[in-house]
Amino acid sequence: MAHDTSRARGIRAEDHDSYCVLEGRADAGLILLCDHACNAIPPAYGTLGLPPEQLERHIAYDIGAAQVTKSLAAALDVPAVLTRYSRLLIDPNRGADDPTLIMRLSDGAVIPGNKRLDEAERERRARLYYAPYHRAIDAVIDQCLASGTPPMLLSIHSFTESWKEMPRPWHVGVLWNKDLRLAKPLLEGFYAEGDLIVGDNEPYSGQLEGDCLWQHATCRGLVNALIEIRQDLIRDAAGQEAWARRLCRIVTTISSATFPRHAPAATAGGVGGASTTQRGERPGMNGGGAMTKIDNSLVTELEAAAFRRLVGHLRERGDVQNIDLMNMAGFCRNCLANWYQEAASAKGLELTKEGAREVIYGMPYKEWQAKHQKEASAEQKAAFAAAAKPHGA
């Protein structure tokens, strides 16, 4: 990415107890994230009852990922947000209501300090060690959006070289959910290296609702992908630097080729079924250049207006059954309510499932069901069962 020293640097470095922000250009079009940067535990928690050597393992953090993130951020002059505490305390890459948010058992190790946690302790960990990181990411995104260049989000992780004694062949994996706009060129970049076994949504699937990228990128329509590097490759400084250089080269090529800065918008439409209506997408949302000057809060207003019409339409069409929506389109009113609730929670707002449903239905869900919901036919149920896809982990 070319430097433009006439611009303000934008994102300033910040040091906080539970996270840090690395400085970088606000208009770089890229933010790096490292959810599992550290294996530290706040002193009050000791070692969470684990033998200290367990904290050196992958269960506590992503070995090597923090240094790769730091070197890459410096090389590209882009901002980065990194955690400061171990995922064993609370996992920032899980939704706030994910059952694995605070693990009791991880890769064969029982975590004594996570057994029998009461609600107050869960709330405390979320407040001190989870929410601040997510707020910081949102704040950095907001600053980048204000610069006029929607940022891509690239999350850096590492994985163990074997799982349940099975060696993992991949050197690197690219994880993605529905949005291939960054994942595809990353995969191609890694394939082109010639010396790598590359995982496409391996060793994990990127389709985990509620995870960090889902909260900050999917929910905000920003281009995103997650990279998993096998940890033996980045365990020492030499490996970390080599991988930072490799990523720098690949990301620079992508940034200049796929997302040319200041270049006219390309034809609309993402690759591989990516939505064309997402805000961060240069080609799609901004209408082929006609709306590139539009200010982001106005874009949000337009999106909200379309959302309100959708909700209004669904309220008028009480005859349209949720199960038919699911069978036809893979979503229904309850999904909309979930998305609304999740967007609220990503902003730190407490909203119950019932409350979110009322926003969508315009009345309590039970009342709507009594008024409009019909008994599903065997045919509808069968179609629903056939359409239900297993969910990635």
Select 64 or 185, whichever has its Cβ closest to Zn ion: 64
Helical (H) or strand (E) element with 25: strand 24-25
Min. distance of Cβ 45 from Zn ion in angstroms? 20
CA 385, 389, 390 angle in degrees (round to 5)? Answer: 115
- The CA R_g of the chain, rounded to the nearest whole Å, is 22
Select 36 or 357, whichever has its Cβ closest to Zn ion: 36
Structure tokens at 260: 């040319």
Select 28 or 89, whichever has its Cβ closest to Zn ion: 89
Min. distance of Cβ 157 from Zn ion in angstroms? 3
Q: What is the Cα–Cα distance from 135 to 346, expressed in whole angstroms?
A: 8
Select 20 or 285, whichever has its Cβ closest to Zn ion: 20
Min. distance of Cβ 317 from Zn ion in angstroms? 43
Closest chain position to Zn ion (CB): 157
Min. distance of Cβ 91 from Zn ion in angstroms? 9
Min. distance of Cβ 106 from Zn ion in angstroms? 12
Please list, residue by residue across 124-133, b when 16 or more beta carbons sit within 10 angstroms of its beta carbon and e when fewer do. ebbeebbbbb
CA 332, 337, 339 angle in degrees (round to 5)? Answer: 95
Select 62 or 179, whichever has its Cβ closest to Zn ion: 62
**Are 133 and 92 spatial neighbours (Cβ–Cβ below 8 Å)?**
yes
Applying CB under 5 A, which residues contact Zn ion?
A: 36, 62, 157
Select 90 or 314, whichever has its Cβ closest to Zn ion: 90
Min. distance of Cβ 183 from Zn ion in angstroms? 17
Select 198 or 213, whichever has its Cβ closest to Zn ion: 213
> Which residues, in sequence order, are bridge partners of residue 82?
20, 34
Sign of CA dihedral 254, 274, 219, 294: positive
| Contact partners, residue 222, CB within 8 Å, separation at least 6 | 141, 150, 151, 152, 153, 216, 278, 279, 280
**Are 222 and 150 spatial neighbours (Cβ–Cβ below 8 Å)?**
yes
Min. distance of Cβ 164 from Zn ion in angstroms? 18
